[in-house]
A and B are shown apart, each in its own frame.
Chain A
């Protein structure tokens, strides 16, 4: 087993356990850093949120991760920061805002919130909706309003902060993080930044799927680590295609300025997927390979006509799924690269789940059409949660070509999609509900893309 070397708060450490083991256990058991809490061990509560800094493209950049899922091997060459690592003589402005707004009651969720908010400060990203900052943190006590008030305060306080590269200096000066952060980048440059490649049989990226499914047996595997993207926006447009490495994270997709120029709503769509710390950890390739019938990025990419490269040339994504949780990939094959043709403005994604955010879809669906003078010239519809595999609605898609965009077409497409679906009843809804929901969501595609037809659509 390869040891993992990283900087934990202000100290360099070597963890000798299995690389796939969750970082959380190391933090609490070996390092005895108990400020990081355990609420679920499944990425769903955020009590275990930590910061991970990594040198990307020469600069140190931080993200929040759920440490209960993050394989410790991923920490190789990184700076892992727990709540103990931001502790100074005084409270940080994040902590002060939380105290001032009484944004904590039992306190068990609180370190996770503080770390998510500190990540926001460090990343310097802009959010149109501040709630996104804590979208991965569950609090059972406060009802969130006090936390939102603290967030608003924090966001105000951060207004004066410059963006990279001086940001870190500013944050240190203003007490957001302790002074030792100044030397971290140099210290990291001396470490090997990638996890040491395993010789095993299982490809492991974020672990947001594997470490939920089988946390215990994973310990004996030596993972194969796909190389992480070397830029913050790993999406590029060339030769009529948008492409990215398979290891690009869902959060990188959300924040990609390259993609948002083509799909302006991408940020909004991705906000419906998992949570910030999970999206930051989760790779797009993992979402595809995982073959979950309701994978959100999978459903988007199916409609976008994506192809993937398993090292053997381009394979259309709609030929990748063979059956329930079965794909054309051998367990040791890496999805190196993903690409899709530059989309038209007519791409839309819909998802409904029991809870709108941080929940797996009951049904999700995407539609991408090309339109010339109101006539559909190409169409791709996909749907999740309605079949054993993420479903490319082949029949519906083909039938749409040549039709005029209007309310009648929308209703017809909705009906056809719902007929093409084969949902089953389970915890995410009855078959009847899912079928009806898909019908409605396909209508929603048309109404959202062509608002003028809203009034005409007959919703029974």
Chain B
């Protein structure tokens, strides 16, 4: 089945926040952000801005009636700054005017007196100064110290990976409408409607039931609208409450890039020990996460780094330490992969380093250490249905890896100024929110008396196709065509206490809740059908709108059955709840069973480097992926291709560039480059492996949102392999921009120097 929004997308009729017809009396908001990365706000002069024609009000922290606090995990982030300024762009004031233009012009007239302080812009620097958010975490298994002492080979080094701007094409935005009796309705471009509702309640000091949050769809989220859609919705709500007018707040791109957090940059130190058979006997890593100026989701992201620090390898003696370091940049946040990619990048660097030293390809070490059934992850969960080896083997066979490698060798023999490299990137990604309590969802189903069906869940559609999958679940449970099912907006009054659409888990959690709700109604309907048809209910089922007995049409259709139920006063609506069974995690012991299941896969990435110009292209990416039994191969293919290219972007052309005052210089699409059509690999082949799924996945169709992003890490190592053919050893610093490639080739970064890239 096709993505249900395709027709409205291609005709331009899909509605986003910015497209909502303006309500009478609407005021437009512009956010005034801190002009410095670190400082103290001594004075705020609003008079000139207030005098600008069309300006209705300017709100500051003193206008907040409730708690001026939006920090979810740790309360360390005011909605509007009071006196301390912690990052450039930190919201200080909200200008409301009768046009977007006037609001922005007036904003430029705000004057501030600030005492500027030295910013901290690097995580290691913050760590050294003790600027740590939450506590340092350590995951450990076995006895790493003894294992290192006994290891035949031990290598150590360091590396770093940059952050990543989400660059959802639809910027952040919200539209808040005061309704009556202090009630607010907020349309928000958020992945987490409940987070918006909860935070508005806290900031405005009103109960959650006074706030309705509604989401039709997002023009992209990627994690950037999980927690960070909240401030803009709260600001709109605040102004709507104070001024009793509808308030529209849609960020311009430059504001969005300056004010919102990104994927966390990481620096890391690693030590890896191997035996003579290339088995990794010990691995130790310390992560310095650049959390930005406030906690946001950083502690949870850090935790997932720890869950994935051994990627898809079994390492008997492994230890990882990690700290969220407070710096003076935007608070960093969720981004597809949620810390997992950074953890995986580090161990792949360690493996590449060991491979250099031992004179083998990284592949040799990767292959020798893949997880097997029954192996234990460092957090205590045992690998069940481990597919690491199956994916690896399938890739080698289906992608004709040996032929590819031979072609690369002969290409490199034939070319002087251009070289190819190939890298393998196996992945293993845990599915579930690592905060156990978030693994729950609800769904509401109505069958109308004409047999048409309406469903609501807590899942938010942001392009990933979850709405489509929900429609499929309902259609399948009722045995009716998908066209009879309508998915409603995600709305806090229909489904309450939702988890954000994140962690790749929305289709599983909401799908399972929906499955239950549909089963309830369908069961009642089949009882009625059995009484009408005077037969055993177990003989009946519905397919294509018809009620079948012993697989033969009965003449009764779903439509007539629904009206019969109505006339017999049978309840045609149901709400159901689902909580993933069996998941738990003890953060004191750092042990548990946090994931319902794992997703596996392996990619081969081939790159060509132009050694004269220092540029590169990706010729081919072959992905052998464990989709389980995909309920929607069309949607899942799109997730795999899109995730890969986003991951390649993170590893290559996407570079966040801050100056030493903490100002983001790559603050526009002209200076921050995401992949365009030419930057995508020339060929991407996605191989749907024929492996059984997991019962914890909806219809055994495994979660797909995040895992493919991590194949992009292979892009870094493919380029690195190509550079080795020039005799240059690329340091473990991502992204590998054209500049880094040229510098590596031109200076022939010698062997042995590459691992010491960080000071």
Contacts and interface: CB of A to CB of B under 8 A. Distances in A.
B670 A42 contact: yes
A270 interface: no
A352 B7 contact: no
Contacts of B746: 436, 440, 460
A443 B21 contact: no
Interface in B1-46: 2-3, 5-16, 18-19, 21
A362 B18 CA distance: 35
A141 B679 contact: no
Contacts of B465: 105
B613 A444 contact: yes
Most chain A beta-carbon contacts within 10 A, residue among B16, B646, B748: B16
Nearest to A455: B416
Given A143-B684, A216-B104, A433-B743, A107 B677 contact: no
Contact of A354 (B18, B644, B738, B743): B738
Interface stretch (B311-319, B389-397, B572-580, B634-642): B634-642
Contact of A352 (B220, B613, B637): B613
A106 B219 contact: yes
B13 A35 contact: yes
Interface string B664-691: 0110111101111111100010000000
A111 interface: yes
Nearest to A33: B12
A140 B646 contact: yes
Given A40-B668, A106-B463, A142 B638 contact: yes
A39 B166 CA distance: 13
Contacts of A440: 612-614, 742, 746
Contacts of B168: 106, 108, 140
B739 interface: yes
B11 A95 contact: yes
A421 interface: no
B669 A105 contact: no
A39 B253 contact: yes
A106 B170 contact: yes
A216 B742 contact: no
Most chain B beta-carbon contacts within 10 A, residue among A134, A148, A360, A436: A436
Contacts of B748: 460
B6 A99 contact: yes
B105 interface: yes
Interface string A101-114: 01011111111001
Contacts of A398: none
Nearest to B647: A143
B641 A143 contact: yes
B169 A47 contact: yes
A219 to B, nearest CB: 8
Contacts of A44: 668-670
Contacts of B679: 355-357
A427 B170 CA distance: 25
Nearest to B645: A143
Given A102-B6, A110-B10, A147 B677 contact: yes
B166 to A, nearest CB: 8
Query: For the side of the interface on A, what is the size category?
Result: 35 or more
Interface in A106-125: 106-111, 114
Contacts of B742: 433, 436-437, 440
A447 B641 CA distance: 36
B673 A359 contact: yes
A140 B169 contact: yes
Contact of A107 (B219, B643, B675): B219
A436 to B, nearest CB: 5
B11 A91 contact: yes
Most chain B beta-carbon contacts within 10 A, residue among A142, A216, A350, A362: A142
Contacts of B668: 40, 42, 44
Interface in B335-354: none
Contacts of A145: 641, 680, 684
A146 B169 CA distance: 18
A91 B10 contact: yes
B653 interface: yes
Lowest 5 A-B CB distances belong to which pairs? A35-B12, A106-B463, A108-B219, A107-B9, A105-B463
Given A91-B10, A106-B170, A216-B104, 11 more contacts: A102-B637, A104-B6, A105-B464, A107-B217, A138-B167, A139-B169, A143-B645, A144-B680, A352-B615, A359-B670, A427-B666
13 contacts: A40-B668, A84-B12, A98-B6, A102-B634, A104-B10, A107-B217, A108-B220, A140-B169, A142-B642, A145-B680, A216-B101, A354-B673, A432-B743
